[in-house]
Amino acid sequence: MRELSQSKYNCIHQALLQTLEAISRTVDTRDPYTATHQRRVAALGRAMALEIGWDEETVLGVYLGGLIHDIGKLYIPAEILNRPGRLNEVELLLIKTHSAVGRDIIAGIQFPWPLAAMVHQHHERLDGSGYPQGLRGEQILPQSRLLAIADVIDAMSSRRPYREALGIEAALSEIERYSGQLYDPAAVNICLTLFNHRGLTLADLEVSAPF
């Protein structure tokens, strides 16, 4: 079999990225309250990875993991995703399946990044209190620990069906308060540095270029 030319490789690589972006938009259209949520999480995850100094391919993997981290919500009824007010216990348990469902959706695709693990682990917490596996500390991928923080920052800063936006200050206070318990302390420090000392704003995440 002849090797792919560089131009064909670049074309396939770009098509893969665009496909993942299209999947992300599909998830967003089902939930108007979290429209563009995945893109903002991806952008913040990428900014954190760059600040750490990870290589270009690893940074891209973090971005793509963030871009599809909620893909499992495709299987959650829209009336539950968009319902105002608190969910009951059964509905909350159903929402929590999205991490494992998302992993299952992409598990058979041989990406050059551990995207399935990132999707599966973005709600895990250092002390084992997260889901779906109750992983602890180093059992959680470094990329997943970044995305967990990016997800919390955006979720708290954005309007949800059951509450108004809490704002960036509340979100930063949350990760700082639980640094070392729920969230990776090194990743927390990186996130705080970006917002408090590098001038990053939530608006920057909205306009961040995809790749």
Question: Quick check: is 1 in a domain?
Answer: no
Distance between CA 130 and CA 103 in Å, rounded? 16
Q: Which tops the pLDDT comparison, 51 or 13?
A: 51
**What digits encode the pLDDT tens for the residues 152-204?**
999 999 887 777 889 999 999 999 999 999 999 999 999 999 999 999 999 99
The structure's pTM equals: 0.91
Of 33, 2, 39, the residue nearest 21 (C-alpha): 39
Question: Quick check: is 62 in a domain?
Answer: yes
- Grade residue 1 by pLDDT with cuts at 50, 70 and 90: very low
- Supply the CATH number for residue 196's domain: 1.10.3210.10
Q: In terms of residue numbers, what domain contains 143? A: 6-207
Identify whether 96 is a catalytic site residue.
no
Distance between CA 128 and CA 148 in Å, rounded? 13
Q: What are phi and psi of 179, to 5 degrees?
A: -60, 130
Question: Quick check: is 67 in a domain?
Answer: yes
Q: Degrees (nearest 5) of the Cα angle 145, 96, 161?
A: 100
- For 163, the 3-state DSSP assignment is strand
Instruction: Choose, from 73, 98, 122, 125, the residue flagged as catalytic.
Output: 73
Indicate if the alpha-carbon torsion angle 194, 198, 201, 203 is positive or negative. Answer: negative
**What digits encode the pLDDT tens for the residues 34-90?**
668 999 999 999 999 999 999 999 999 999 999 999 999 999 988 888 888 788 999
pLDDT at 121 over 60: yes
Question: Quick check: is 73 in a domain?
Answer: yes
Q: Which tops the pLDDT comparison, 211 or 151?
A: 151
Residue type at 127 in one-letter notation: D
- For 11, the 3-state DSSP assignment is helix
Distance between CA 72 and CA 101 in Å, rounded? 5
Question: Quick check: is 189 in a domain?
Answer: yes
Look at the chain and report how many structural domains it folds into.
Answer: 1
